[in-house]
Structure 1
Amino acid sequence: MTEADELLRRQLGACAAIYHDDPRLKYPMKYHLILEFGLICTPAVYPSTWAAGRPGMCYANAATLAKRRDLTYVEGFALLASGMPIDHAWCGDFSPRVCQSNGSVSLSALSQIRW
């Protein structure tokens, strides 16, 4: 596990610690679910021959890319270069490298659940 992978896990753990409002729920927030079942993946270089998606539209971009390129649509968390985890969507082939749905986003690590 890389330093970025560890940082992402720590950041998600800190977010999860904030949300424990309902003791009836095993996974009160997606942070908890991803910490238990998530996979850490390595962001791949976005192919220069593919059209980039629109910035700020990762969910729509990833859905479109998955359909066009026969990839798997994935949601999870991405670690920005600043160390901040963000909700994000992308495409993957689980090799464990994954493709971004927009080549302009610089990420250090990704955590996801494969359904």
Structure 2
Amino acid sequence: MTESAATFTNPGEDELIHVIRQYAQLTESVSPGTAGWRHPSQYHLLLEHGRRFTAMPSPPDLVGMPDRLCYSNAARYARAHRSEGLLYAEGLALTHEGLDFHLPHAWVVRSDGAVLDPTWNDAPGRAYIGVAVTDMDLWPYDGGGLLSDFERALPLMRDGIPDGVLADVGRPL
């Protein structure tokens, strides 16, 4: 892990974790139908498996992809750069300074946990909390996130994440 990605601290990450915990508590109070599920919501899944990823300025050669298509953008960018060890990642991100939104989002991560964001390349987010997925068959090339699309998220929440699907990159929550 590079020094910059390993030691970088970001108060926005703690803010995102706080928001994820609030969403998880809200879900518990309104969704009793998920009793017995491995993860009652995608927020519970993020609290158990999520990692902190290091927000970095975009490299000059990162050409932006279409807005509002972060899931397919990240999946396609990771696939195109797989030989460089890039992985698809998804979770919540805190937008750039001045906009201040916590949004479901997808991005690409390097093996050191640093973020490359092909959608927000002009103004990368300030914080990223999520999971890095190694199984390319799960990457949502057609859009719709792994955690935000119900059909994709349901088996992961109900049954749990299969062994070997998540990469051990980024920093623990």
- Residue in 2 that maps onto 1:94: 111
Which structure has the highest strand share of the two? 1
> Which 5+ residue runs of structure 1 have no aligned equivalent?
none
Query: When the two structures are superposed, what TM-score results if normalisation uses the length of structure 2?
Result: 0.61
CA contact (8 A) 2:63 2:118 kept: no
CA contact (8 A) 1:7 1:83 kept: no
Match of 1:75 among 60, 79, 90: 90
- Residue in 2 that maps onto 1:84: 101
Q: How does 1:1-115 map to 2 (within 5 A)?
A: 1-20=9-28, 21=31, 22-70=34-82, 71-81=86-96, 82-102=99-119, 103-114=121-132, 115=166
1:52 CA displacement: 0.8
> Which 5+ residue runs of structure 2 have no aligned equivalent?
1-8, 133-165, 167-173
Larger radius of gyration: 2
RMSD of aligned alpha carbons: 1.7
Query: When the two structures are superposed, what TM-score results if normalisation uses the length of structure 1?
Result: 0.88
Distance 1:50 1:26 in 2: 37
Which structure has the highest helix share of the two? 2
Percent identity between matched residues is 24
CA contact (8 A) 2:56 2:124 kept: no
